[in-house]
Amino acid sequence: MAGRLSQTVRSDARYNREHILDAAREVFAAEGLNAPMREVARRAGVGPATLYRHFPTKEILATEAFADQMRACETIVEDGLAHPDPWQGFCSVIERICELHARDRGFTAAFTSAFPHAVDFGERRERTLKSVAKLARKAKRSGHLRQDFVLDDLILVLMANSGIHANSPATRAAASRRFAELVIRAFRTSPL
Amino acid sequence: MAGRLSQTVRSDARYNREHILDAAREVFAAEGLNAPMREVARRAGVGPATLYRHFPTKEILATEAFADQMRACETIVEDGLAHPDPWQGFCSVIERICELHARDRGFTAAFTSAFPHAVDFGERRERTLKSVAKLARKAKRSGHLRQDFVLDDLILVLMANSGIHANSPATRAAASRRFAELVIRAFRTSPL
DNA sequence: AAACTAACGGACGCACCCGTCCGTTTCGCT
DNA sequence: AGCGAAACGGACGGGTGCGTCCGTTAGTTT
């Protein structure tokens, strides 16, 4: 009845919203954050106006589209933290996060320089980074991670990883895997 | 006399050409290859048409503007090759090239994915890479460089280095220095 | 010094992307 | 079925960068 609040969202609106998010994930993954909004709209089969009505800015759209990736990121770190061997856990984080970022061209940009408007995104980001710091402390105590490792090194690695440009996704994935290997070797304590 | 071939280049043309190259170096270094051509023209104090007359495409302009950097790159590698200790030479190459690329936002892009039109640039590039391969062989023989190092690893490092974005040049330089340190550690033979 | 011509640069047309307006369609409720 | 409102999307105006045309300027030659 009339008492019901205007929580009723029209079915086509919900439908389009989901399709736009799907399209955004595909487009941003393939072309990065620089992809035109029109491209997302086209792929979603909606007009530009509809896209902008649901997501007023590209930042907002990206934040919501990358929410899955962000959750995946958090899971990766939690898995690493749960690993019985802290060093192995640390390595798995590096490997899996590099892989994740290699698969998705736009995610790194969103992650490393979180937008001002992406508040909740930023919160999850901070929480994840805190967990990484905790894992790093454990790995240092185990004696396998360099004592001078700092959290900024991880950001550095992510930024560097994002610099790996390649034509085919397969090549990019391979390069990213090699890169993760190099990085892990760099972070391991040396007997020197 | 009339017998003289049309080798006479008007003085203002030569003057402008040099100024355009200077401006291009400054602009590309500061803003990367994405900087508008107009910006180069503005800084050079010429009109857009003059710029395009001298350098029909951005590729050609970039190639000529980065010729100095390319030479510097070659010199760095030659210095490394001349070092009595191959491993020390290898390290100096990594450090100095990372520094060079950090100082110049556009150079890496030009270097790692040389344009089709940049023929002579590509030649010098190939020659330099050959020298790096030679240095790597020596460093491997000395026992300090990992046996499984491949030339593509250097390209990988350069691409990764270019991914390091930062607001201030100073921050970027510092991050790049740290990155070079990590990379060197990754390439060193480990007792494992 | 005068004329010839190379070189200059303001202005133009084209293409792309952004974000918004408004007439039209479609959903949901009665 | 019919009505009101919410949602849609084609079309618009604003901004930016690229590459080119053509009337004007200025160097060079005799």
Say yes or no for a CB contact (<8 Å) between B153 and A182.
yes
- pLDDT-based confidence at residue B4 (cuts at 50, 70, 90): very low
Q: Which residues contact A50 (CB under 8 A, 6 or more apart)?
A: A16, A20, A41
Tens digit of each residue's pLDDT (9 = 90 or more) over B72-99: 999 999 999 999 999 999 999 999 999 9
Q: Which residue has the higher pLDDT, B153 or B116?
A: B153
Q: Do A87 and A139 meet the contact criterion of CB atoms below 8 Å apart?
A: yes
| Strand D and B192 CB separated by under 7 Å | no
Look over chain B and give the mean of its residue pLDDT values, rounded to a whole number.
Answer: 88
Helix (H, G, I), strand (E, B) or coil at A188: strand
Q: For position A135, what pLDDT does the model report?
A: 97
CB contact under 8 A, B186 and A182: yes
Phi, then psi, of A57 in degrees rounded to 5: -130, 165
Number of neighbours of residue B88 by Cβ within 10 angstroms: 14
Which tokens go with B138? 């020596």
Contacts of A182 in chain B (CB under 8 A): 153, 156, 183, 186-187
Q: Best of A182, A183, A187, A188 to disrupt the B interface by mutation (most B CBs within 10 Å)?
A: A182
Of B152, B153, B185, the CB nearest to A186: B185
* pTM summary value: 0.84
**Nearest-by-CA chain B residue for A187:** B182
Q: What is the pLDDT of residues B120-173, one digit of tens each?
A: 666 888 899 899 999 999 999 999 999 999 999 998 898 888 888 777 888 889
Distance of C1' in C20 from CA in B127, Å: 54
Distance A17 CA to D7 C1' (A): 12
Task: Among A108-122, B3-17, B95-109, name the one with the lowest average pLDDT.
Answer: A108-122
pLDDT cut 70: percent of chain A above it: 90
Which long-range contacts (C-beta less than 8 Å, at least 24 apart) are formed by B107-110? B107/B28, B107/B29, B107/B66, B107/B69, B108/B158, B108/B159, B108/B161, B108/B162, B109/B32, B109/B33, B109/B162, B110/B33, B110/B62, B110/B63, B110/B66
Residue with CA nearest D9 C1'? A47
Q: Do B187 and A182 touch (CB under 8 A)?
A: yes
The tens digit of pLDDT for each residue in A40-53 reads 999 999 999 999 99
Contact B165 A187 (CB under 8 A): no
pLDDT of residue B6: 47
Nearest residue on chain B to A174, alpha-carbon basis: B156
Whats the size of chain B, residue-wise?
A: 192
The beta-carbon neighbor of A160 closest among B113, B164, B187 is B164
Q: Is the distance between the Cβ of A53 and the closest atom of strand D smaller than 7 Å?
A: yes
Residues of A in contact with B156 (CB under 8 A): 164, 175, 178-179, 182
The reply to whether B5 has its C-beta less than 7 Å from any atom of strand D is: no
User: At residue B8, does pLDDT exceed 50?
Assistant: yes
Whether residue A99 contacts residue A46, with contact meaning beta carbons closer than 8 Å, is answered with no
> Is the distance from CB of B158 to CB of B97 less than 8 angstroms?
yes
In angstroms, the Cα distances linking B132 to A132, A176, B71, B78, B97 are 36, 22, 14, 9, 12
Q: Which amino acid is at A106?
A: G
With an 8 Å Cβ cutoff, the interface of chain B facing chain A consists of: 112-113, 152-153, 156, 159-165, 175, 178-179, 182-183, 185-188, 190-191
Residues in Cβ contact with B49 at an 8 Å cutoff, skipping those fewer than 6 apart: none
Q: Walk along chain A (192 residues) and give the pLDDT tens digit of each residue.
A: 333 444 688 999 999 999 999 999 999 999 888 899 999 999 999 999 999 999 998 888 988 998 888 899 999 999 999 999 999 999 999 999 999 988 888 887 777 765 555 556 668 888 999 999 999 999 999 999 999 999 999 988 988 888 887 778 888 899 999 999 999 999 999 755
Q: What residue has its CA nearest to the C1' of D16?
A: B36
Task: Tell me: pLDDT of B1 over 80.
Answer: no
State the pLDDT confidence band at B5, using cuts at 50, 70 and 90: very low
CB < 8 Å to A160, chain B? 160-161, 163-164, 179
